[in-house]
Structure 1
Amino acid sequence: MQQLTPAGQNVVDDLARRYNLSQNAVMEMLVAVNQGGGFMAQFWCGELGGGGQWMRGGMTMVGDMFNHGLKNTVDNLCNDLSNALANTQMFPVAPPGSRNSNQWWPGDLGSPFSSGGQNNIRYAVFPQRLAVELNGQVTVYDTLDHSIGGVSQQQGGDSSLSFSSQFGTVSVNSLPIVSGPGLPQAPQHNFATQAPPMASEPQPSATPSWNPPPQPSFDPPPASAQRSGNASSSDDLIGLIEKLARLRDAGALTDQEFNAKKSELLGRL
């Protein structure tokens, strides 16, 4: 459990009695409000219905959203803790430059123009200097001739930072390091690199795999067969006439076409 000053312990004990909560529950809420700068909190407390959010003068959200009595309890408790943080030394003062100190940057930098943090990274902006803390390690950068207007963390879980200046958006890793280990480089992804070819699939042949069945030929038999005058030539012509009749019956030939072709074939007997 985080250490408290004697005055801070008295505040926690008093609030625990007033709200009929354990000291551990009040401490959990105190830490959440303190991490939110005294005006907001995101918490998980079993005695207060599990997870929830609080904002001073704004909306209070609890796990049991229709339990208005619980909402009022959370709102009043967080307001009392916020007032206590503003008016009472709740936590022991940590040495400047330490992890738990509000002044975690080197003392010779003075007071920052602005400071903030996201996830496990904190930053503070000074004249010609930018201090960044990652996992307890502080790196000081030379901001050169940049006039820093804002710092943002790269989305996606890595630890890269960028800042905006009069020259646009610039990566913190592009600045010279004055002291400290520096931030890890963000992974580079070359999206212009051509992807390896996929396994080739058989391409369809330009020639269709299905060939239409041959159409019956109605040409007259060879001249040699005509000249022979044997019975096979007559049989061939009669067979052609029968095929023509079937095509006519199927609607492929009109009566006129059938009769014309029939007359032509009979004339060759």
Structure 2
Amino acid sequence: MATYRQIQTSFWQDGFIMELTPEEKYFYFYLMTNQKTTQCGIFEIPRLIIEAETGYNGETVDKLIKRFVDYGKILYCKETKEIMIVNWIKYNFINSKNTMLCINKELKKVKNKDFVNGFYKICVDMDYPLDIIFKGINLYENSDSEKEELSGGLQAPCNDLGEEEAKKEIYKKAANKEANNTDGIGLVICEFNKNMGEAALEDIEKIAAFAEEFDNKVILEAIYEAVKYKAKSSAYIWSILENWKSLGLITMDKLKKYRNIKKESNKCNADAYKYIE
């Protein structure tokens, strides 16, 4: 296990990171740099250790873990106490045989095989050397009962087909009702569907709730921000809107003014580094 983890300086200006609360930034940074982290980005860490090292209580730790699961940034298994940082291997892979042998050794110790399977799919997409990384590792799908057990309660509860069909029907009616209203939430729902995938009933309810406080164009901007930074989680959109709400940016005029001020501020900071003879 290495005694340090490399974090790029651009981390703090990443679009996703910039929209997080200070508490979330600190927690995400902790997940990537704590002593239990590994080369593969999958590690076992008891909640008591997280509490002791971050200073957060159990309730806050649970809240933050669930939040980053919803953001699509980590996977968490309560049963095995394992965390997988989803994109870790994409940004920290080193094309070294020793590194790949280390990853192979780590993967053999992972208890949650769903994590190993997910890691395999990422390696396939990134065209990493599978013969070295997965040598001697059996990949298989867990049974439904095992998946439910390994999810540790963070997986969405199963619904029977009747309930799912009812939800879809409610969604279709809500979407169709507003579809032709360019000033209503119909446009927002259509843009959500186009960019994030079909909205669930919970997503529609969220959009409707935010529409009570925000201009619809501001909600659209939050969706486009998620697309810009390739965040495919609706939780990321809600996080952006909550942040803008805390700043009072509920209209497009206020949002535009805020962005202009921020742009000028960044420009001034850049000018400060120019060499002057």
How high is the TM-score relative to the length of structure 2? 0.22
Of Structure 1 and Structure 2, the greater strand share is in 1
Of Structure 1 and Structure 2, the greater helix share is in 2
- Structure whose alpha-carbon radius of gyration is higher: 1
Compare relative contact order (CA 8 Å, sep 6+) and give the higher one, 1 or 2: 2
